[in-house]
Amino acid sequence: MDAVRDLSTAPVTAEPAPPAARGPLSRTVLGALTGGPPGTALPPPACAVEDADPFGEDLQLALHVCYELHYRGFAGVHPGWEWDPGLLALRGAMEGAFGTAIRAGLPATPDGAAGRAALEAELEGLLVEPREARGVSHFLRDEATWEQLREYFVHRSVYQLKEADPQAWVIPRLTGQAKAALVAVEYDEFGSGRGERVHAQLYADLLRDAGLDSSYGHYVDAVPAVTLATVNLMSWLGLHRELRGALVGHFAAAEITTAPSARRTVEAIDRLGGGAACRHFYDEHIEADAVHEQVMRRDVIGDLLAREPGLTADVVLGIRATALLDGRLEEHLLGAWRAGRTSLRTAPGLSLPSGSSGSYGERAPQEARAARRSGVEPAEQA
């Protein structure tokens, strides 16, 4: 454990630099944030929100930037922007477009007994993997190169370096057993009182062990909108009390499905010769999330809906929205890798993990560890 802990020399909580804009909406948001203190009117974006692709690069980055003001913020950006009325109005319009697009891609959930039956069907479906399932973790276990596994780590870093933070917003919106049980799950996610065991810190250790940069937000410019959308979903649900049921559904879906995919990722790490910190992060999730699945289903969802049965449709929404966006990301990753190209963005001047410029070589993890021993940092290798 000490060897794993010693990998962490970069602070996880440092404010990241603002990312580069990807279109008129994100340019408007970033221009305001970097142009001075809050309080001045935002200029209208060159593109109206209703004309933007709700899943596209521009809107998803703009939404991500707005949400990050509620987490760590950005270097050089005044913290008062977090509650600026003009920025909140623009964020609300983008959230509306995002939420409408998500709901349009999902079947409607009925009320009453039919809604409860739909929820049970969704939960049962999360517990059973189809025999023919061939998702990202199957690909990583059986086919991926070391570079493809490192790319996967980069995609996941946008969330994992703040793991369980979005879900914590639901705590004051719950009561009774649902609140107590969800806090118990969060206590595990936050290291059970041990800073070096906080899951976000374990992921920072993983990144360094894989020869990647462990700085919070470092790879936002590298990941596409399809990745940002999976994280934006958590922030959207967490920041709105009316969506507390959907946030609980999302959290349950994540906890129920993590253990099997984590087990396959451990097998991928072992096959490719990854280091102890890479393995430790996923080992932790195999054990913890197997327990969390039962707690979320019985004690959190069960108690919440016993108190507020009207939230059943929202819990279903959270489960289905998570599957929808995770499925879009999975399609993107597998499509890129099977075509032999990078799944990351390759904009000019973008700092990508070494070897991820568009095609793959069979790069060994030992090279990254040798580079670290020689004193070369990941950011210098890229």
Cα dist from 194 to 151, 156, 199, 203, 275, whole Å: 29, 23, 10, 15, 22
User: Residue 290's pLDDT band (boundaries 50, 70, 90)?
Assistant: low
Q: Does residue 361 surpass a pLDDT of 80?
A: no
Q: Does residue 13 surpass a pLDDT of 60?
A: no
**270: number of Cβ within 10 Å:** 12
- pLDDT at position 377 is 39
Q: What is the mean pLDDT of residues 288-313?
A: 90
Q: Give the Cα separation of 319 and 107 in Å (integer).
A: 12
State pTM to two decimals: 0.89
**379: number of Cβ within 10 Å:** 12
Q: Give the Cα separation of 338 and 360 in Å (integer).
A: 11
Beta-carbon contacts of residue 287 (< 8 Å; ≥ 6 apart) = none
- pLDDT at position 354 is 60
For 176, list phi and psi in degrees, rounded to 5.
60, -140
**Top-tier CATH class for 111-381:** mainly alpha
Cα dist from 264 to 115, 233, 252, whole Å: 33, 25, 20
- The encoded tokens of residue 32 equal 């305001």
Q: Give the Cα separation of 185 and 104 in Å (integer).
A: 31
Q: Give domain limits for the chain.
A: 12-103, 111-381
